[in-house]
């Protein structure tokens, strides 16, 4: 009885430990307030500064920020000239927008199966999925673990395809000692600044590239397809008011309020990743060789940003996932599943995609649960997660 009460008290004290969470401090708040008190709350000096800081952090030539990662994908595919009749190859273990953005442009996403120890797309399956219609490969750095970019770049050179990295999980990660986003092996890299990602601007995203033509088009696409840059005008400038719409763009801008938050957050990115990696070390140690689930591995070419910490249930627990998931939630662990294979969604099924096309991804989905991992977790939170996980699995 006494034990129950103290356990209860402990639970009440403890906040809900979500699978991911932002870390906002006073310096972030001050940076945002400063913009709110200034003359320009959107499209002022912070936008360019955030872009500059992002591109220098990743060592790419250009960064263009957008109102979300999804908008950034739409823009990247647009400037890559992905259109009706084209195919892009991506992983089914991703968030919807990687594939949806191809549908925005009437192109067709093709799904290639994964490697189960990282959850990343398997280059061998990409090769099998390439057709005459393939325009781009869109590898997802799942959970922050970079894909083997060199192998993918070898593949595309044979077929003359583009590579657009879905690095929404991987800001701050490294591939062969270089930051993801350098675009050394790709044409563009897409990031997201949703609150659960490496850094946040509330909502937000970016495309990085080393290609100047893409850069100019990305800027235009973000603001109605319009340019105010004289050198780019197709027609004679009739005066200083003159601006030209050359393509059909959107309003996908990120505000100065958000960019101020981004600038402030980016300064702490390396610390955030460091803390994520410390927590992962504690998890790895606690969970090594356990009888209930497997862990993802980190390959020798990768330094993961550990956006997620997915555990993969052993075969004999696969059918108990629902029960285990519910119990973990009851214990205050905000576990989540990343992801339902995209083509299982009713919208995709209605487009003709069938279950069974990527068996490894489907098996991964059946086993996967993401447990809490974010930089503001203290060691007591981490110990609590470990204790509850063992409790729940032992009862299962």
Smaller CB distance to ligand PLP: residue 156 or 168? 168
Total residues binding ligand PLP (CB under 6 A): 14
Q: Are 266 and 199 a contacting pair, CB within 8 Å?
A: yes
Separation in Å, CA 287 to CA 281, 327, 376:
10, 19, 21
Question: Do 178 and 152 meet the contact criterion of CB atoms below 8 Å apart?
Answer: no
Per-residue DSSP letter, 230 = G
**Minimum distance of ligand PLP from residue 205's CB (angstroms):** 5
Binding mask 85-104 for ligand PLP (x = CB under 6 A): ---------xx-xx------
Closest CA to 118 of 280, 292, 298: 298
Tokens at 153, concatenated? 């770049």
The whole-angstrom separation of Cα 169 and Cα 376 is 17
Residues 186-215 that bind ligand PLP (CB under 6 A): 192, 194, 205
What is the C-alpha to C-alpha distance for residues 366 and 319, in angstroms, rounded to an integer?
A: 8
Q: Which is nearer to ligand PLP, 202 or 332 (CB)?
A: 202
Rounded to a whole number of angstroms, the minimum distance from the CB of residue 356 to ligand PLP is 23
Listed ranges 161-169, 177-185, 240-248, 341-349: which one lies at the site for ligand PLP (CB under 6 A)? 161-169
CB of 369 to ligand PLP, least distance (A): 17
Q: Does 181 bind ligand PLP (CB under 6 A)?
A: no
Q: How far is C-alpha 350 from the geometric centre of its chain's CA atoms?
A: 26
- By Cβ distance, which residue is nearest to ligand PLP? 69
Compose the 55-84 pattern: x for residues touching ligand PLP by CB under 6 A, - for all others: -------------xxx--------------
Residue 348 tokens read as 């995709």
Q: Which string of DSSP letters, residue by residue, matches 82-150?
A: --TT-EEEE-SSS-THHHHHHHHTT-EEEE--B-TTT-PBPHHHHHHH--TTEEEEE-B-GGG----HH
Q: Does 182 contact ligand PLP by CB under 6 A? A: no
169 binding ligand PLP? (CB under 6 A): yes
The residue to which tokens 């192109």 are assigned: 107
Q: How far apart are the first and last CA of the chain?
A: 23
* Among the listed residues 60, 168, 173, 199, the single contact to ligand PLP using CB under 6 A: 168
**Closest approach of Cβ 140 to ligand PLP, in Å?**
5
> CB-wise, 18 or 98, nearer to ligand PLP?
98
| CB-count burial class (<10 Å; 0-12, 13-18, 19+) for 355 | exposed
- Tell me the closest approach of the beta carbon of residue 286 to ligand PLP, in angstroms: 26
To the nearest whole angstrom, how small is the minimum distance from the Cβ of residue 333 to ligand PLP?
20
Q: Which of 51, 113, 166, 298 binds ligand PLP (CB under 6 A)?
A: 166
Nearer Cβ to ligand PLP, position 74 or 303? 74
Closest C-alpha to 328, from 17, 13, 119, 14: 17
Which 106-145 positions form the footprint of ligand PLP (CB under 6 A)?
A: 140
Give the nearest distance from C-beta 207 to ligand PLP in angstroms: 12
Report CA 276 to chain centroid distance, whole Å: 16
> Cβ of residue 141: shortest distance to ligand PLP, in angstroms?
8
Which one, 24 or 386, has the nearer CB to ligand PLP? 24
Q: Which two tokens stand for residue 17?
A: 């430990």
Contacts with ligand PLP by CB under 6 A lie at 68-70, 94-95, 97-98, 140, 166, 168-169, 192, 194, 205
């Amino acid at each position: 009885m006494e034990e129950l009460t103290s356990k209860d008290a402990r639970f009440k004290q403890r906040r809900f430990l979500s699978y991911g969470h932002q870390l906002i401090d006073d310096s972030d708040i001050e940076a945002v307030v400063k913009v709110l008190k200034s003359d320009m709350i959107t499209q002022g000096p912070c936008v360019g500064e955030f872009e500059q800081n992002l591109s220098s952090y990743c060592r790419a030539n250009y960064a263009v920020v957008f109102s979300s990662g999804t908008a950034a994908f739409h823009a990247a595919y647009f400037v890559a000239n992905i259109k009706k009749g084209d195919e892009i190859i991506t992983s089914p273990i991703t968030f919807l927008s990687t594939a949806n953005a191809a549908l925005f442009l009437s192109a067709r996403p093709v799904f290639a199966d994964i490697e189960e120890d990282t959850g990343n797309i398997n280059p061998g399956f990409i090769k099998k999925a390439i057709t005459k219609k393939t325009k781009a490969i869109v590898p997802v750095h799942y959970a922050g673990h970079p894909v083997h970019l060199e192998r993918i770049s070898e593949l595309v050179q044979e077929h003359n395809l583009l590579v657009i990295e879905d690095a929404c999980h991987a800001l701050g990660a490294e591939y062969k000692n270089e930051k993801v986003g350098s675009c050394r092996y790709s044409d563009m890299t897409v990031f997201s600044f949703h609150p659960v990602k490496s850094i946040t601007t509330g909502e937000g995203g970016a495309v990085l590239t080393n290609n100047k033509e893409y850069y100019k088009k990305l800027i235009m696409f973000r603001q109605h397809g319009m340019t105010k840059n004289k050198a780019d005008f197709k027609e004679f400038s009739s005066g200083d008011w003159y601006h030209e719409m050359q393509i059909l763009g959107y309003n996908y801008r990120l505000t100065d309020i958000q960019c101020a938050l981004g600038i402030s957050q980016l300064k702490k990115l390396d610390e955030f990743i460091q803390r994520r990696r410390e927590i992962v070390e504690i998890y790895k140690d606690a969970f090594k060789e356990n009888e209930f689930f497997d862990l993802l591995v980190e390959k020798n070419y990768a330094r993961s940003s550990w956006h997620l910490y997915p555990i993969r249930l052993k075969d004999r627990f696969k059918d108990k996932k629902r029960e285990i998931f519910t119990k973990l939630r009851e214990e205050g662990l905000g576990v989540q599943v990343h992801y339902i294979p995209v083509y299982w969604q009713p919208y995709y099924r209605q487009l003709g995609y069938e279950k069974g096309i990527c068996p490894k991804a489907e098996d991964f989905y059946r086993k996967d649960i993401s447990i809490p991992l974010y930089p503001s977790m203290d060691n007591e939170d981490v110990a609590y997660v470990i204790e509850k996980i063992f409790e729940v699995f032992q009862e299962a």
